[in-house]
A and B are shown apart, each in its own frame.
Chain A
Amino acid sequence: MKKALIALAVAALGSMPALAQQTIKIANIVELSGPGTTSGTNFKNGVELAVREINAAGGILGRRIETSTVDTQSNPGVAKGLTQKAVDQDVFAVFGPVFSGSIMVSMAETRRAEIPNFTGGEAAAITTQGNPYIFRTSFTQATAMPKIARYITDQAKAKTLSLIYVNNDFGKGGRDMLMKALEKSQTKIVADVSTESAQVDFSAAVLRARQANPDAIFVYTNEEESARVLRELRKQGWTKPVIGETVLTSQKVIELAGEAANGAVAHVGLTVDAPIPAMRAFRAKFEREYKYITDHNGIKGYTGMYVLKAAIEKVGKLDRKAVAKAMHGLKLRVADHPGILMDVEFDKNGDLDRDSFLTEVRNGKQEVTATLPPLSRK
């Protein structure tokens, strides 16, 4: 009992409210252990890279940014507690968590405390609850899937499609959105194959997808699993199109799948390989700093921090409510804010819209084949 009390008392000391705010305090609440480690680490590294740059250039409104980073263990319950702790510490804004399940729990806390919260989560439900303090750093699946659906119907001209997806909130959410987007189109879904996270053998899944004899197969799983699906497709002699969203043509998948990745096509919201000079420069900076090439989560954290900077500067003072208000309907141009890397606009829900890319794997490299305009511009 006594030990527990001591532990509790010490834990309490750590959560005392801070004194006068000379710096702008930002809390990184991210997945540094558990299944979300890759996403969380990249997101955090992106945020910290941006913070270092901003501080070196004189901070925001002349104040330095101070970040603290904590690990959620990819556990929603822990994420909620850490967010409360950040609230107790009176931070100006919260970045993360990246996993949708965690942000769904923790954003109630930042909302109650009226603290702007930037998330890497892509589940559609995050921004459909009228929370005025939640902002995305990437597309939601509700934005990305209609774009790829348009490609499947109009460009790939697939009349029939088989789906292979991973049954977690990410995979299931994406599958539901794609089905909705394809509902009124010419493309019919002929097989709907659910797979497990960390599944190793995909021979049965691929066989089922193939046996429906579709014009194309859509693969929506995490990195390792995507690579295994691609290898299995090659093994079973599939030659028609393989289409995906973001993950399928990512660097990690190409490395793991090797030759089998060639020919895979995917819509990508954010990629360090985008044919944009600012993005190339970011890629180089990130690699110099951390000795590896980031996935889209690094871009999310980096641009999210610069979006916050732009919003604060627009308001002209450190007022959380005013900043959150200014974020809704905010339109930013790279010409004015180089750090955001791509033109972006936020709507009243905290969702964002911007250009995105169609990519294809050629000779073991992801190549951008087309730039797709924001959905709002069509």
Chain B
Amino acid sequence: MRTPLALAAGLAAAAALVALPHFLGRSGVYLLSYWVVFVVATMGLNLTVGYAGQKSLGHAAFFGIGAYTVAILMKAGLSFWLGLPLAALLCFASGIVVGFPALRVQAIYLAFATLGFNTAAWLFMRNEEWLTGGTFGIKDIARPSLFGVSFDGHRAYYYLCLAVAAILAALLYGLLRSPWGKAFTALRDNPIRAESLGVDVRGYTLLAFAIGAAYAGVAGALFAPLLEFIDPAPFSVGASIMMYLMVVVGGPGYFFGPMLGAAVGVVLPEWLRFAQDWYLFVFGAAVVLLMIWLPDGLLSIPGRLRARREARAASAARAAAAARLDGGGR
């Protein structure tokens, strides 16, 4: 984002996101809104996984807690604008609780611990019918309005999602540039060194989970009115794995990774529908190939190109130096 070119590209992308709905039908706008919701959710997961290095496979549970919080509160007659911060807060709190295992276990063991949490949360959503409506879900969730402006229309609701996403992206951008952000990456790269340098490993691990969870909570809060109906299905372990995939494909630890990753996870399967019966196969194959060629995600492409250029320059320099040495030896 430092060069004018990148800035121009960013501005063009932002302008496109604002203008695009006017060229799309209902379904296009819906898909775009779906994408924005997943961008918000995966931005949080990117913080937990990509920046702080905590392998979390329970993100869909937070997403679900956010969605159910808003749905239940709105059904009880409370405002969406109260439900949204409450959803974030509740997820922040549960994020801290789920973060505790991360203090003891790491890597794949942590992934399993969070996966267990996801399953428990999913079972709760499904079995506690008095609260969550069980398998029948909660229907007729209204879309909110603010100061007399209704967000009921498909374009209006998209702009609401986009605005929330923009605010959260700006917050995350600021956070990552703050000492907190540096502490998160220090935690990921070398926790022992981080601790010896005075970083409170315990506190930051919990925070990485809690902030990531709060993002998922906000995404869930936007998701419920988008569908106008929720049941436990979209919050299963499978959905957590899908979100993890979005982060990894986009590029974990890259700020714009979730935007690309969510596009791959949400938009690509729709776009591939021309392949008919094969579209999910093509999608799966594309993901496998991506992982083989770009294990660090799509956004690692510029870095890889630069590294290759530098390597080539370095080897040319080495060859030149060797030639000089050979010449000198004779």
Contact = CB atoms under 8 A, between A and B. Distances in A.
Interface of A: 1-5, 7-8, 10-12, 14-17, 32-33, 70-71, 73, 75-77, 80-82, 84-85, 87-88, 101, 104-105, 108-109, 123, 125, 129, 167-169, 172-173
Nearest to A101: B231
B271 interface: yes
Interface stretch (B23-31, B186-194, B212-220): B23-31
A310 B139 CA distance: 32
Contacts of B256: 1
Interface string B248-273: 00000000100110010001111101
A125 B139 contact: yes
Contact of B9 (A1, A17, A108): A1
Nearest to B270: A11
Nearest to A125: B136
Top 4 closest pairs, chain A to chain B, by CB: A4-B263, A88-B25, A85-B27, A84-B27
Contacts of A80: 30, 227
B134 A4 contact: no
Nearest to B127: A167
Nearest to B262: A4
A70 B136 CA distance: 24
A108 to B, nearest CB: 6
A82 B139 CA distance: 19
Given A4-B259, A81-B30, A169-B136, A15 B127 contact: no
B25 A84 contact: yes
B227 A76 contact: yes
B28 A12 contact: yes
B28 A11 contact: yes
A319 B288 CA distance: 48
Contacts, number: 114
Contacts of B9: 1-2
A197 to B, nearest CB: 10
A76 B26 contact: no
B167 interface: no
B280 A73 contact: yes
Contact of A33 (B127, B134, B136, B280): B280
A172 to B, nearest CB: 5
B105 interface: no
Given A1-B9, A167-B126, A75 B233 contact: yes
A300 B126 CA distance: 28
B34 interface: yes
A8 B280 CA distance: 18
Contacts of A108: 228-229
A70 B273 contact: yes
A75 B234 contact: yes
Nearest to A10: B271
B136 to A, nearest CB: 6
Contacts of A77: 34, 227, 234
22 contacts: A1-B256, A2-B9, A4-B263, A8-B28, A12-B25, A16-B25, A17-B25, A33-B280, A75-B234, A81-B30, A84-B25, A84-B30, A85-B25, A87-B27, A101-B135, A104-B137, A123-B136, A167-B127, A169-B135, A172-B134, A172-B136, A173-B136
Nearest to B277: A32
A91 to B, nearest CB: 12
Interface in B1-48: 9, 13, 16, 20, 23-28, 30-32, 34-35
Nearest to A11: B271
Interface of B: 9, 13, 16, 20, 23-28, 30-32, 34-35, 126-127, 134-137, 139-140, 227-229, 231, 233-234, 256, 259-260, 263, 267-271, 273-274, 277, 279-280, 298
Question: What is the interface of chain B mostly: helix, strand, loop, or mixed?
Answer: helix
Contacts of B227: 76-77, 80, 105
B231 A76 contact: yes
Given A129-B139, A167-B126, 18 more contacts: A5-B16, A7-B263, A7-B268, A8-B263, A11-B267, A12-B23, A12-B25, A17-B25, A82-B27, A84-B30, A87-B26, A88-B26, A88-B27, A101-B233, A123-B136, A168-B135, A169-B231, A173-B136
A104 B26 contact: no
A81 B154 CA distance: 12
B267 A101 contact: no
A81 B31 contact: yes
B59 to A, nearest CB: 16
Nearest to A171: B135
A280 B115 CA distance: 49
A17 B234 CA distance: 30
Contacts of B25: 12, 15-17, 84-85, 88
A150 B13 CA distance: 64
A1 B259 contact: yes
A261 to B, nearest CB: 27
Contacts of A71: 279-280
B245 to A, nearest CB: 15
Contact of B267 (A4, A17, A87, A169): A4
A8 B267 contact: yes
A191 to B, nearest CB: 18
A14 B140 CA distance: 29
Contacts of B228: 105, 108
A285 B27 CA distance: 36
A123 B273 CA distance: 29
Contacts of B267: 4, 7-8, 11
A8 B20 contact: yes
A105 B229 contact: yes
B270 A81 contact: yes
A12 B256 CA distance: 23
A104 B126 CA distance: 17
Contact of B137 (A1, A82, A101): A101
A125 to B, nearest CB: 6
A15 B277 CA distance: 19
A84 B29 CA distance: 10
Contacts of B26: 84-85, 87-88, 109
A57 B27 CA distance: 34
A365 B147 CA distance: 66
Contacts of B126: 167
Contacts of A12: 20, 23-25, 28
A273 B227 CA distance: 40
A282 to B, nearest CB: 25
